[in-house]
Amino acid sequence: MKKEAITEKDRIWAKKCLNCFLCKRVRQKQRGLAFWLVKKLESGICPACKAYEKVYNRKAHEPLQGTDNTPSTK
């Protein structure tokens, strides 16, 4: 599968997902209605979640690694 190039627009959308109240809560709590909602609808409806997945190579509902609350860069 060929990977698409990450554009500046993708990075802006991914940052919106990173700062989104709902997505931020889901990444921290990992349970509840909000978790289910984001897990089921993230990349199908939300362009910010889709960009987050593309930029950080992980789903928007997956917990962050480390303690500084930022995605790990591999």
How many angstroms separate the Cα of 22 from the Cα of each of 14, 30, 55, 73? Answer: 14, 11, 19, 22
Say which residue, 69 or 33, is predicted with more confidence.
Answer: 33
Measuring CA to CA, which residue among 62, 54, 60, 72 is closest to residue 8? 54
Model confidence at 52, in pLDDT bands (50, 70, 90)? Answer: very high
Average of per-residue pLDDT across 45-67: 87
Give the start-to-end residue ranges of the domains of the chain: 8-56
Please give the angle made by the CA atoms of 5, 65 and 4, to the nearest 5 degrees.
Answer: 10
pLDDT at 67: 46
pLDDT tens track for 13-36: 999 999 999 999 999 999 999 899
Cα–Cα dist 56/74, whole Å: 9
